[in-house]
Structure 1
Amino acid sequence: MLEKLAMLSVNTNAGALSALRNLEANHKWLETLQERIATGYKVASVKDDAAIYTIAQRMRGDLAGIRASLDSINRATVAVDVALVATESISDILIEMKGKMASLLSAQKNNDDAAAEAYTRDLDAYREQIKLMISSADFNGTNLIDSGNDIISALANSDGTETLDFNHQDLSFGGALITLTDDQEYSMEEINNSIDNVNRAMGHFGTASRRLEIQHEFASKLHDVVERGIGRMVDADLARTAADLQAAQVKEQLGILALNIANQAPNSILALFGRR
């Protein structure tokens, strides 16, 4: 009994100090677990894990770039699809014009002036409709088929160093593709040439639309992969965190009990004086 009491001191309670250190450490761990449950992150700041947080921040920057790329692709896709729809419609009208032109030539050969005049009016109406379609094929200030020189570009990576660029196709009357002029001098040769040229332009926009679709699909998958990668590094496993929280709460209760027991140890010194 005296040997045990020889290690006791009323000034320094080693057992209480040890219990207090353990209690403080567990309390900090408990606070960490509570924060993880509140935020959903196991690495919420650089103080939690400097290396992981730095990597995650860099990946978040890449993710922002990928989102910008997806937005750019979406805008380019709409502009290209508007041009594609207009070009398809113009091709259909030119085919109708070819039929009217054949009828006009037949009427002219038969000296049927009334019919020839009617067919010419139809051709004029088709020409004006094509002009209207060309001027209406505008998206966000970009028209890929008028007499201008607009091009459309889409970001192809997260840092903007690579782009998908698609050229303008001039479908205006009297241009390089639609060789018909604004006057009433229609010819079957010019209509056939215009049909062939417009169909090539249609193929150009069709290919552009498909390339943008493929790039969008790739960028979307890349976005998901990067987002999941960030989550694996910084997100908390809430199921495990909940279990750890329950264990930490039990440890805190036991730590308080251990500290109380340690604080009672100096009372044993009173036994030396015959007091309790």
Structure 2
Amino acid sequence: MSSIHTNTAAMTALKALQMTNSALESTQKNISTGYRVSDASDNAAYWSIATTMRSDNKALSTVNDALGLGAAKVDVAYTATKSAIDVVDEIKSKLVAAKEPGVDKSKIQSEVKALQEQLKAIADSASFSGENWLASNATSGATKEIVASFTRDSSGAVSIGTVSVDVHSSKLFDSATIDRTTASATGRGILDSTLADYDHDGDGGATTAALTYTVSIYNLDITSVTDDQLDGMIVGVESALNSMTTAAADLGSSKSRIDMQTKFIGNLMDSISSGIGKLVDADMTEESTKLQALQTQQQLGIQALSMANSGSQSLLSLFR
């Protein structure tokens, strides 16, 4: 039936053209943004997941920065400790040389004094970002925490993981001791602590090397010591070297762990970014194909609508 009120063909053509225009608008949006899910209205579940994971990735990026800062601090402490070990090794050599009969101990002491000052300079300069782990007032059991991970469990709860570094066992000097001319048995670093007791005759009894127990590596003076006292100093320096070697090994282990964690965090961030992309990124090859098809459909829809509208004009000829 032909009617001037209802043009079914035109209505059908218009509906098809509107659908095509809507699909074309969506495709153009995907192409311009690069996402097939850019808003919650596109796919609420995928958009929610992607938004949460992007937030977690930003947190991981901050963790990565914190690991870099922590690695730098550990590296500075490790490098300084290695240098200090070399200097203490030289001090031990000087003490051994002082055992030679007839040697001028005062001249050897002047060399030892220079090495002692070098130890202080090394410890004082081992600072990074305002922190010095080798000249500190860290007490027994004190640790430094380095942010190392960010995790989210199945319930959505988040937590921060850390790497602990024992800064008490690695400190060389106690920064609270302004005047380092005296030694203490406790609360000091490896180099300003009182040297351990030395049983020079091996009988397990009292020793006569009294001076050995009131000096540290930093303030020992061999100018007028006896051979027994010198032996005690050598043993004390050797013990300190062992402690410094252990401290350097611990710092090296911490640095290795931080490096591995940094690599893992980097790979994890890449994996999360890849996963987000699979959820919400648009396939540009597919979208370009859709665009070409929809543009063709749009042109055909316009022509179909035009033809449907022109059909009603033919009714006028019936009334001529």
Instruction: Flag whether TM exceeds 0.5 (same fold).
Output: yes
Instruction: Report deviation, 1:142.
Output: 1.5
**Secondary structure in structure 2 of the residue aligned to 1:162:** strand
In structure 2, distance between residues paired with 1:176 and 1:89: 16
2:306 maps to 1:260: yes
Aligned to 1:118: 107
2:146 maps to 1:153: yes
Aligned to 1:192: 238
Amino acid at match of 2:150: N
Contact 1:13 1:266 in 2 (8 A): yes
Instruction: Report deviation, 1:161.
Output: 2.7
In structure 2, distance between residues paired with 1:164 and 1:184: 37
Aligned to 2:38: 44
In structure 1, distance between residues paired with 2:269 and 2:123: 36
Alignment of 1:220-239 (within 5 A): 220-239=266-285
Higher mean alpha-carbon deviation, 29-38 vs 179-188, is at 179-188
2:162 maps to 1:163: yes
Alignment of 1:65-104 (within 5 A): 65-104=59-98
Structure 2 unaligned blocks of 5 or more: 152-157, 174-179, 194-215, 223-232
Contact 2:37 2:280 in 1 (8 A): yes
Deviations along 1:151-171, one digit per CA (max 9) or x if unpaired, are 242232244432111120221
2:27 maps to 1:33: yes
Q: How many residues align?
A: 263
**Secondary structure in structure 1 of the residue aligned to 2:117:** helix
Aligned to 2:211: none
Instruction: Report deviation, 1:51.
Output: 1.2
In structure 1, distance between residues paired with 2:219 and 2:258: 38
Aligned to 2:2: 8
Aligned to 1:64: 58
**Cα 1:88–1:182, aligned 2, differ >3 Å: closer, same or farther?**
closer
Amino acid at match of 1:221: N
In structure 2, distance between residues paired with 1:86 and 1:167: 16
Instruction: Report deviation, 1:18.
Output: 1.3
In structure 2, distance between residues paired with 1:177 and 1:189: 14
RMSD (Å) for aligned C-alpha atoms: 1.7
2:259 maps to 1:213: yes
Which of residues 174, 177, 190 is equivalent to 1:177?
A: 190
Deviations along 1:171-193, one digit per CA (max 9) or x if unpaired, are 11753523434423352112101
In structure 2, distance between residues paired with 1:181 and 1:205: 22
Contact 1:94 1:195 in 2 (8 A): yes
Contact 1:157 1:163 in 2 (8 A): no
In structure 1, distance between residues paired with 2:262 and 2:270: 12
Amino acid at match of 2:21: H
Deviations along 1:70-105, one digit per CA (max 9) or x if unpaired, are 111111111001101011111111112111221122
Which of residues 93, 114, 117 is equivalent to 1:128?
A: 117
Amino acid at match of 1:117: S
Amino acid at match of 2:115: Y
In structure 1, distance between residues paired with 2:110 and 2:22: 87
In structure 2, distance between residues paired with 1:44 and 1:147: 52
In structure 1, distance between residues paired with 2:122 and 2:88: 13
Deviations along 1:229-255, one digit per CA (max 9) or x if unpaired, are 111111111111111111111111011
**Larger strand percent:** 2
Instruction: Report deviation, 1:271.
Output: 4.8
Identity of aligned residues (%): 30
In structure 2, distance between residues paired with 1:51 and 1:69: 27
**Secondary structure in structure 2 of the residue aligned to 1:42:** coil
**Larger helix percent:** 1
In structure 2, distance between residues paired with 1:176 and 1:183: 13
